[in-house]
Amino acid sequence: MSSFQQPFQHQQSAHCESGVMASLLTHAGLPMSEPMAFGLASSLAFAYLPIVKLSGMPLVAYRMPPKYLIKTLSKRLGAKLHARTFSNPEQGRRELDAALDSGRLAGLQSSVFWLPYFPAEMRFHFNAHNLLAYGREGNEYLISDPVFEQPVRCAVEDLQKARFAKGALAAKGLMYWLDDVPLEQDWSKLIRQSVLSTTRILDGMPLPWIGVRGIQHLAKQIDKLDPAQSKYNRLYLTHIVRMQEEIGTGGAGFRFMYASFLQEAGEKLGDSSLQEASAQLTAIGDNWRQFASACVRASRNKGETPNFAPIAESLRGIALQERGLMKELAAWSKR
């Protein structure tokens, strides 16, 4: 990195995509916390997709799909997002080197499995992990991986393999950076717009698998589990927990992160109704965590037949709470 450039500050984040965007924006001179980046991009969601299978299990998502946050946030802030994928891996490497040598930060999408600095037990084939490269030294890239405490290093070959891993959600070497970030923003308009959009995603989609209806759908699926299939049930319930907690969801499937956004937004606008909404969502997040604990408890005891009805019931409770909160927030955003 050239010496006149202001040094890059690594900041640990709960989630990769929001962390990378928060770092890119802060570095560009628009200070942005991770929850703020997450909330302004309306990334909170819920989806239960039985057609998309992950190791034989349905996809359960607590946020919008990969790349949504990057695109939405840069659009709303009016920043220019450059994103490139490469059909030729060698060209992808050259472009990354060129970008880093010119002192630019580069956001990269890559596979978790091929990143050697990840703990072995976290290395699954998930191709949509985001990280930030901020320099290179010899045969190593200097990387700010948002979910790690400290910056890390990664050998050129390893990062190359991770960027160009094939399979579901393949990154194709995706590299992105921001230009022309406007430093003046109309926060009131931005926050209202993004909150309204979140309420429409969570409660307003005419599809039974998305948002609050998706949560109710999941509750129905848990109700329907056949107690005789104990192995499948255990894998199914722990799969939900993994989707909710593993690799950067900030705990409770992003609910705490969004609550933190609501609080920060409330302070920015001096509006106490957002603070109340934040407290409500914190309580909902706590319920999500209890739901996760209950799923694991039901998977743990092999002997007795677990009772799924209370687990499904708690999920229905969460669905109702989220619907109530979304209605309040929708009314607020139109005020």
Partner 1 sequence: MKLDDVPQDHSSTYGGHCKLVYAVDASGHYQGAQSDGWEPEAFATQMAVAELQEQEAEALAAWQRGELSPLKCLMYRYRLDEPALAQITGLWQWRIRRHFRPNIYPKLSAAILARYAEAFGLPVEQLITYQKDLA
Residues that bind partner 1 (CB under 8 A): 12-14, 34-35, 53, 55-56, 113-114, 118-125, 147-149, 161, 165-168, 234-235, 238-239, 241-242, 245-246, 248, 250-252, 256-257, 259-260, 263-264, 278-279, 282, 285-286, 289, 292-293, 295-296, 299-300
Burial of 293 (0-12, 13-18, 19+ CB in 10 A): exposed
The residue among 74 and 299 lying less far from partner 1, judged by its C-beta, is 299
Closer of 3 and 120 to partner 1 (Cβ): 120
Closest CA to 326 of 222, 208, 228, 198: 198
- The Cα–Cα gap between 46 and 49 comes to 10
CB of residue 191 to partner 1, shortest distance in Å: 16
Given CA atoms 226, 232, 233, 239 in this order, what sign does their dihedral have?
A: negative
Beta carbon nearer to partner 1, 49 or 296: 296
CB of 225 to partner 1, least distance (A): 16
Angstrom CA distances, 216 to 3, 115, 117, 283, stand at 55, 36, 38, 19
By the 10 Å C-beta count (0-12 exposed, 13-18 middle, 19+ buried), 203 is classed as buried
Query: Based on CB atoms, which residue is closest to partner 1, 34 or 203?
Result: 34
Helix (H) or strand (E) holding 175: strand 175-179
Report, in Å, the least distance between residue 296 CB and partner 1.
Answer: 4
Minimum distance of partner 1 from residue 114's CB (angstroms):
7
User: In the bound complex, what is the minimum distance in angstroms from residue 325's beta carbon to partner 1?
Assistant: 16
Q: Which is nearer to partner 1, 68 or 124 (CB)?
A: 124
- The minimum distance between CB 14 and partner 1, in angstroms, equals 5
Tokens 């910056």 belong to 151
Secondary structure class of 224 (helix, strand, coil)? coil
CA–CA–CA angle 236, 241, 246 (5° rounding): 125
Q: Shortest approach of partner 1 to residue 10 CB, angstroms?
A: 12
Tell me the CA distances in angstroms from 154 to 19, 80, 86, 257, one per residue in order: 19, 28, 20, 29
Task: Pick between residue 68 and residue 113 the one whose CB is nearest to partner 1.
Answer: 113
Closer residue to partner 1, CB minimum distance, 39 or 74: 39
Residue in the block written with tokens 């010899």: 138
12 vs 305, which CB is nearer to partner 1? 12
Give the orientation angle of helix 272-300 with respect to helix 255-269, to 10 degrees. 170
| Helix locations, 8-48, DSSP H | 16-27, 34-40
Nearest approach, Cβ of residue 254 and partner 1 (Å): 10
